[in-house]
Amino acid sequence: MDYSIETAPLEELQCDCMIVGVYQDQQLSPSAAALNNSTEGLIANIVNRGDLSGKNGEAVLINAIPNSKIERVLLVGLGENKPVSVKNYKKALLAAINSLKKPQIKSIVCCLTECEVEGRDWQWKSRHIIEVFNDAVYQFTHTKSDKETESKIEKISIFAPETERALAHSGLLQGKAVAEGMALTKHLADLPGNICTPTYLAEQALELGKQYASLTVKVLEETDMAALGMGSFLSVSRGSRQPAKLITLEYQGGIKNAQPIVLIGKGLTFDAGGISLKPGPGMDEMKYDMCGGATVLGALLAAAQMQLPLNIIGLIPSSENMPDGDANKPGDIVTTMSGKTIEILNTDAEGRLLLCDTLTYAEHYNPEIVIDIATLTGACGVALGRVASGLLGNDDALCNDLIAAGETANDNIWRLPIWEEYQEQLKSNFADMANVGGRDGGTITAACFLSRFAEKFRWAHLDIAATAWRTGPTKGATGRPMQLICQYLTSRAQTSQNISG
């Protein structure tokens, strides 16, 4: 995809389709008004005869523009003529891009940057347009015979006046990086478990390392993990024919000794539940149990592409969770790298068994903060639905920063408590703790479990079990919470630059 900022006047533009906004009560955005003037009232005609009311999310394609190098114009309803909310802006963008999935349309100029969005500037709008458009045209064809995609768009230009060019351009660079990271995240997540194994994920990470000089990728093998004493992690992979990997990515963009941000992503390439086998219906979706890991890969790609002035470590513990003669059994007790022992009462609560050893391993990096991202509990969807990801953590400032980043990026999270009363539920008669805490507050007790391995640093946990993919007829990875993580990192980069410069 080719991206650019377009500052030329309308008369000079050439494209397959130009996207312009129309408000309710027949009010035209500046570029719609300009087009209307140069076409002897074409747009006003369409609006006046009632073909477009201007309601948010409406879209009408005008297929022929007399005497113009602009082949088509897409009119998009923006609602009332006042600053729109972030959610309505996204709705309008989606209506626009979904109307343009036609073979004839290869180049577009988007003028919806003109639309005022509550509390947002040109940088944000340009970034958001690229994120939303790319997300919408993504199509998984890797394992289909027919590789044709619905959208043939190759060139996206974003309109901005000369005075806003710099802001719009920096938003474009960010949007491009985030969009590329998200496409990688979704692609890896959509791949089936027989292709996307822990070894495959590790190869993809090594590939990324070759593409970016700022990224150093190393993969710890089972023997390395055994030497580190990761008895909990390895107990899960023992039941699988696929060797486990602990993928490490080191991005050095900040000053040499600056403490890094560590991102940990759960990378279960398939979770059958183990001996506590999951029910059959919907089990295919457990190929998505590596979405946290895929998000970490996408985020490091984006960080490297944006050359963020930060040090970031990505850690992806990757394994399968299968039933097997050598698999974990309910009641088994394992010893973690930290020395703490765990009674495995349910082998399907495997994510935390990988994450606990990875959290301990993260101490090696002397992290400033640690954020783990995991499709950890079905209970999170019961609590928050598919709208917000769950957030739990031991540091209020970090949690608030993440919530703010989610709001900015329109990728929302909601905090749940990890008060010590909940820790009771993890009591075991035979080990330091059990790996499950019963039905009540399942997302919280999972985070309580993790918190015991995150005592040495500021830590936040994102439970993305219900937000990382859609089920049903549009089944597929969403790429969340890439937008939130990238927003957090870019905001952090901004503050660290302000401090150092």
In the shown chain, the binding pattern of residues 237 to 276 toward Zn ion, with x for contact by CB under 5 A and - for none, equals -------------------------------x--x-----
Which parts of 457-476 interact with ligand BES (CB under 6 A)?
Answer: 465
Are the C-beta atoms of 256 and 325 separated by less than 8 Å? no
Question: Cα separation of 44 and 64, whole Å?
Answer: 15
168 binds, among ligand BES, Mn ion, Zn ion, none (CB under 5 to 8 A by kind): none
Nearer to Mn ion, 250 or 271 (CB): 271
In the shown chain, the binding pattern of residues 317 to 346 toward ligand BES, with x for contact by CB under 6 A and - for none, equals -----------------------------x
16 annotated as belonging to a binding site for a ligand: no
Task: Please choose, from the candidates 437, 487, 480, the residue with its C-alpha nearest in 3D space to the C-alpha of residue 462.
Answer: 480
Instruction: Please give the residue whose beta carbon sits closest to Mn ion in the complex.
Output: 348
CA atoms within 13 A on the CB side of 413: 32
What is the total count of residues that contact ligand BES (CB under 6 A)?
15
Report the nearest approach of ligand BES to the CB of residue 427 (Å).
15
Q: Which stretch binds Mn ion (CB under 5 A): 37-45, 162-170, 215-223, 341-349?
A: 341-349
Nearer to ligand BES, 269 or 483 (CB): 269
379 binds, among Zn ion, Mn ion, ligand BES, none (CB under 5 to 8 A by kind): ligand BES
Residues 6+ apart with CB under 8 A from 249: 205, 208, 209, 215, 216, 217, 296, 297, 300, 313, 314, 315, 316
Q: Is 475 among the residues known to form the active site?
A: no
2 annotated as belonging to a binding site for a ligand: no
Examine residue 377 and tell whether it contacts ligand BES (CB under 6 A): yes
What is the total count of residues that contact Zn ion (CB under 5 A)?
4
Are the C-beta atoms of 306 and 174 separated by less than 8 Å? yes
AA letter at 412:
N
Nearer to Mn ion, 350 or 411 (CB): 350
289 annotated as belonging to a binding site for a ligand: yes
Catalytic residue among 120, 176, 352, 452: 352
Tell how far CA 277 is from the center of its chain.
Answer: 29
AA letter at 386:
R
Examine residue 289 and tell whether it contacts Zn ion (CB under 5 A): yes
Report the nearest approach of Mn ion to the CB of residue 246 (Å).
19
Catalytic residue among 278, 386, 456, 458: 278
Are the C-beta atoms of 447 and 418 separated by less than 8 Å? yes
Tell how far CA 494 is from the center of its chain.
Answer: 20
Q: Which of 21, 367, 442, 479 binds ligand BES (CB under 6 A)?
A: 442
Examine residue 426 and tell whether it contacts ligand BES (CB under 6 A): no
Cβ density class 147-186: b for 16+ within 10 Å, e for less: eeeebbbeebbbbbeeebeebbbbbbbbbbbbbbbbbbbb
Q: Which of 16, 343, 348, 463 binds Mn ion (CB under 5 A)?
A: 348
Question: Cα separation of 490 and 127, whole Å?
Answer: 12
Three-class SS state of 280: coil
Nearer to ligand BES, 300 or 468 (CB): 468
Nearer to Mn ion, 275 or 300 (CB): 275
Are the C-beta atoms of 342 and 426 separated by less than 8 Å? no
Question: Cα separation of 219 and 231, whole Å?
Answer: 18
Nearer to Zn ion, 107 or 319 (CB): 319
Question: Cα separation of 260 and 314, whole Å?
Answer: 10
Nearer to Zn ion, 6 or 350 (CB): 350
Report the nearest approach of Zn ion to the CB of residue 336 (Å).
18
271 annotated as belonging to a binding site for a ligand: yes
Q: Which stretch binds Mn ion (CB under 5 A): 60-68, 108-116, 349-357, 468-476?
A: 349-357
Three-class DSSP labels, 418-478? CCHHHHHHHCCCCCCEECCCCCCCHHHHHHHHHHCCCCCCEEEEEECCCCCEECHHHCEEC
Nearer to Mn ion, 229 or 378 (CB): 378
Residue 265's Cβ-count burial label (10 Å; 0-12, 13-18, 19+) is: buried
55 annotated as belonging to a binding site for a ligand: no
Which parts of 221-280 interact with Mn ion (CB under 5 A)?
Answer: 271
Q: Which of 58, 250, 348, 357 binds ligand BES (CB under 6 A)?
A: 348
Query: In Å, what is the CA distance from 439 to each residue of 277, 356, 378, 386?
Result: 17, 21, 11, 20
Q: Which of 351, 367, 406, 479 binds Zn ion (CB under 5 A)?
A: 351
465 binds, among ligand BES, Mn ion, Zn ion, none (CB under 5 to 8 A by kind): ligand BES
Query: In Å, what is the CA distance from 109 to each residue of 71, 77, 153, 362, 437?
Result: 11, 17, 11, 45, 53
CA atoms within 13 A on the CB side of 185: 35
Q: Which of 58, 135, 164, 289 binds ligand BES (CB under 6 A)?
A: 289
30 binds, among Zn ion, Mn ion, ligand BES, none (CB under 5 to 8 A by kind): none
Q: Is 278 among the residues known to form the active site?
A: yes
Task: Please choose, from the candidates 42, 43, 28, 34, the residue with its C-alpha nearest in 3D space to the C-alpha of residue 13.
Answer: 34
- Residue list for the binding site: 266, 271, 289, 348, 350
Q: Which residues bind ligand BES (CB under 6 A)?
A: 271, 289, 346, 348-351, 375-379, 436, 442, 465
Residues with catalytic annotation? 278, 352
- Residue list for the binding site for Mn(2+): 266, 271, 289, 348, 350
Q: Which residues bind Mn ion (CB under 5 A)?
A: 271, 348, 350
